[in-house]
């Protein structure tokens, strides 16, 4: 079924919230199935638009899973409801994080990957808020748990974030560095971030700062690329770089 409900205890005063996720679109591999990547759309979008673009990429050995976020009120939009992986206000370190929304979406995403064959490499990617969600999943993977303490079950092999930001950056360095295992996982997880220098939705400096925050927290296998004069959208050159990076990091056969 394309729709699912997810309930997660957060330890917050509000108790439990139920999130109803939208339709999921799947792009089957045209060649040998070597990797599965969950790709996450941006605020107000859905999985369909990205599934069409991903299907056109020269990556025949990747299965793409493109879920749709729940529809919820978003503080950034004055409480207007739209598809969003979590609630978001001002994009700054001072803005409170919606841990319950982040954890519920991260668990929903991990659930897709938990049923993949053991010999298939798994990863998460996304654009804008989808990139933020991918990076939150990367930190959960390194820490070995969600923000609410529930164990994170997936061994991610690649994370891609386009035009996004890092939620939960406050205190991340301390959380990673107090655990040898977390530090090891952070250092070994390949991450590709890219951002347009003229982005007027998620400013370039926020993307740059997110990359810096990840790096000082111990995510050393990180590549940050900037695209001069590009706004809040993707361009063919950027997607070519994503293809090349995934082919290399996931050791894919017969791509490109």
Angle between helices 129-143 and 99-114 (to 10 degrees): 80
Question: What is the rounded distance in angstroms from the CA atom of residue 154 to the CA atom of residue 110?
Answer: 6
Question: What is the rounded distance in angstroms from the CA atom of residue 60 to the CA atom of residue 31?
Answer: 5
Closest CA to 192 of 255, 148, 234: 234
Phi-psi region of 168 (alpha: psi -120 to 50; beta: other; left: phi over 0): left
User: What six digits make up the tokens of 25?
Assistant: 């679109």
Q: Is 128 a catalytic residue?
A: yes
Q: Is 232 a catalytic residue?
A: yes
Q: Name residue 26's beta-bridge partners.
A: 65
Q: Are 123 and 250 in contact (CB under 8 A)?
A: yes
Q: Is 114 a catalytic residue?
A: no
Given the residues 48, 49, 179, 232, select the one marked as catalytic.
Answer: 232
Q: Name residue 16's beta-bridge partners.
A: 9
Given the residues 128, 137, 169, 255, select the one marked as catalytic.
Answer: 128
Question: What is the rounded distance in angstroms from the CA atom of residue 24 to the CA atom of residue 113?
Answer: 13
Instruction: Classify 22 as helix, strand or coil.
Output: coil
Given the residues 195, 199, 210, 213, select the one marked as catalytic.
Answer: 199
Q: Which residues are catalytic?
A: 128, 199, 232
């Amino acid at each position: 079924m394309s729709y699912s409900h997810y309930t997660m205890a957060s330890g917050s005063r509000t108790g439990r919230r139920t999130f109803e996720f939208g339709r999921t679109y799947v792009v089957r591999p045209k060649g040998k199935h070597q990797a599965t990547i969950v790709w996450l759309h941006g605020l107000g979008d859905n999985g369909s638009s990205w599934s069409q673009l991903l299907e056109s990429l020269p990556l025949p050995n990747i299965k793409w899973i493109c879920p749709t976020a729940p529809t919820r009120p978003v503080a950034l939009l004055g409480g207007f409801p739209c598809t969003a992986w979590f609630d978001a206000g001002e994009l700054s370190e001072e803005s409170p994080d919606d841990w319950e929304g982040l954890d519920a979406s991260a668990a929903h995403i991990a659930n897709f990957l938990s049923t993949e064959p053991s010999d298939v490499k798994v990863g998460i990617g996304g654009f804008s808020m989808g990139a933020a969600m991918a990076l939150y999943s990367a930190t959960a993977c390194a820490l070995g748990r969600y923000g609410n303490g529930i164990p994170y079950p997936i061994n991610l092999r690649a994370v891609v974030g386009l035009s996004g930001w890092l939620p939960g950056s406050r205190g991340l360095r301390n959380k990673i560095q107090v655990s040898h295992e977390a530090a090891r996982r952070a250092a070994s997880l390949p991450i590709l971030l890219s951002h347009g220098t003229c982005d007027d939705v998620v400013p370039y400096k926020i993307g740059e700062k997110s990359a810096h925050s990840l790096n000082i927290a111990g995510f050393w296998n990180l590549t940050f690329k900037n695209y001069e004069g590009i706004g809040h959208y993707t361009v063919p050159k950027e997607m070519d770089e994503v293809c090349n990076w995934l082919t290399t990091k996931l050791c894919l056969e017969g791509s490109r």
